[in-house]
Amino acid sequence: MSSHILLVGVNHTTAPIALRERLAIGGTELVDALTRFGASNGHGSTLLPEGVILSTCNRLEMYAVTEDVQRGRERLIQFLSQNRKVPVEEFASSLYVKSNADAVDHLTRVACGLDSMVVGEPQILGQVTDAYRTALSQHATGPVLNTLFRHAIQAGKRARTETAISQHATSVPSAAAALAEKEMQRLDDQVVLVMGAGEIGQIAARALVARGAKGIIVANRTYDRGLMLARELNGEAMTFDRQAEALVRADIVITATDAPHIIVTTEKVKAAMAERPERPMLIIDIAVPRDTDPGVADIPGIRLFDIDDLRDVVNGNLAAREREIPRVEAIAAEEATTFMTWFQALDVIPTIADLRQRAEAVKAQELDKALRRLGDISDQERQVVCAMAHGLVNKLLHEPTVRLKKHAAQGNGYLYTGAVRELFGLEVDKEHEA
């Protein structure tokens, strides 16, 4: 039975942030999920022998190899529901399911930044790479997904080196900085609090400084990491336990932590605003799951934006990016096609190998008979006979080999492998053929 590539996921176009944050899998949860991915059927089943989970602020996608697309789809959905403790009916309508070429095309486009909220965003390639490496470290991948993700990552790298797609792109954190400038008119006289010193927080903080922000406070769970970023930006570092103080001082708050729960609560913001009633506060939450309680938006003087609100901001630079999209699409399609040629050939390679093995066995047997009948001949004559036998086998197998590979590339190789095995009496190795 042939193997299939299966994708089940949600993203920013199919699910709101409230749902995406409930389905997000990160940190140790991702490692734990991957360790149970392949064994999720309970009996060491090979229904999902390979898997990679891509979880970012804008998407949760599960890639798998399966022999049965329908059963594999059902198992992935059940796996997600059980892992996140979210009933299937609450996210089923937001899911997209793709298989084989469609799934491959989707992943290469994702790695190239074509499927992002911000077209060409540079972070997604690193996120795809990290997702693959994490799955690889947990032995969740195999030959198919290893090859697929390498082609997808190669597509992403080529998009960034062969086109200007990333030069014109506005990342989510830089879009947050642009929104802050738009809402506050100017940043040089504002106190900016950046919560989270990870990659996203770092990009947001640097983008704010590039737009003129001077008073930067970096709050992070670990002080040393926050201090490194604060020193780079000539700012101030503090830990989360000083959040109340920071909120009183801040005019702009950018939250970008990887906390699994709300850290900016309604109570904390109310308390902060009580001490500075005449000064409004802008909060831009770009974390998934969200760092900020949505109820904060109801507090007088607060303007709250989340990651979904950034769509209007990122549309401002579309013209330059759109000129690069056809070139990036061509790169994504080229890498996807190269992979699919390899993947589809997997169906016929075992049959080609078995056919050649059978032919070589017959050749050896008949050659031995012929040489014994010829009796005492010279080494040169022996070489001529052997070369003729070898040439006959190669010429006879050349055309069916080429045609099998051609049909495999067209996606219908499986129609011919069965016929070849039946006609030549080849033993069916079900495990090999899978």
Burial of 221 (0-12, 13-18, 19+ CB in 10 A): middle
Angle at 132 between CA 127 and CA 133, to 5 degrees: 95
Q: Let me know if 386 is a catalytic residue.
A: no
Q: What is the pLDDT of residue 147?
A: 96
Distance CA 57, CA 289 (A): 8
Q: What is the pLDDT of residue 43?
A: 41
Q: What is the pLDDT of residue 253?
A: 97
As beta bridge partners, residue 55 has 60
Query: For the sheet containing 50-55, what is the strand order?
Result: 50-55, 59-66, 4-11, 96-99
Distance CA 189, CA 195 (A): 19
CB-CB contact of 60 with 20 (8 Å): yes
Q: What is the pLDDT of residue 428?
A: 53
Q: What is the pLDDT of residue 193?
A: 97
Q: What is the pLDDT of residue 420?
A: 83
CB-CB contact of 423 with 416 (8 Å): no
Distance CA 129, CA 116 (A): 15
Instruction: Enumerate helices (H) and strands (E) in the chain, giving the number of each.
Output: 17, 10
Closest by CA position to 293, among listed 109, 85, 18: 18
With a threshold of 0.75, does the pTM exceed it? no
Q: What is the pLDDT of residue 415?
A: 75
Q: What is the pLDDT tens value at each position of the chain, 434 positions in all? A: 478 999 999 999 999 999 999 999 988 899 999 988 765 444 445 689 999 999 998 899 999 999 899 999 999 999 999 999 999 999 999 999 999 999 999 999 999 999 988 788 878 999 999 999 999 999 999 999 999 999 999 999 999 999 988 776 567 888 899 899 989 988 989 999 999 999 899 999 999 998 889 899 999 999 999 999 999 999 999 999 999 999 999 999 999 998 989 999 999 999 999 999 999 999 999 998 999 999 999 999 999 999 988 876 666 666 777 889 999 999 999 999 999 988 888 777 778 888 888 888 889 999 989 998 988 899 998 999 999 999 998 999 888 888 887 777 776 776 788 788 888 888 754 434 43
Q: What is the pLDDT of residue 139?
A: 92
As beta bridge partners, residue 8 has 62, 97
How many C-beta atoms lie closer than 10 Å to residue 79's C-beta?
Answer: 21
Task: Please give the DSSP secondary-structure letter assigned to residue 65.
Answer: E
Tokens 């940043």 — which residue? 187
Pair of tokens at residue 237: 């570092």
Distances (CA, A) of 40 to 92, 102, 331, 341: 20, 25, 35, 30
As a residue count, the chain comes to: 434
Pair of tokens at residue 233: 């930006």
Pair of tokens at residue 270: 């109310």
Please compute, for residue 382, the number of CA atoms within 13 A of its CA located in the half-sphere on the CB side.
10
Query: For the sheet containing 236-239, what is the strand order?
Result: 236-239, 215-220, 191-195, 252-255, 281-285, 302-306
Cα dihedral 258/264/265/267 (nearest 10): 160
Catalytic-role residue among 5, 57, 227, 310: 57
How many C-beta atoms lie closer than 10 Å to residue 375's C-beta?
Answer: 6
Closest by CA position to 356, among listed 270, 405, 426: 426
- Which residue type sits at 371? L
Q: What is the pLDDT of residue 38?
A: 65
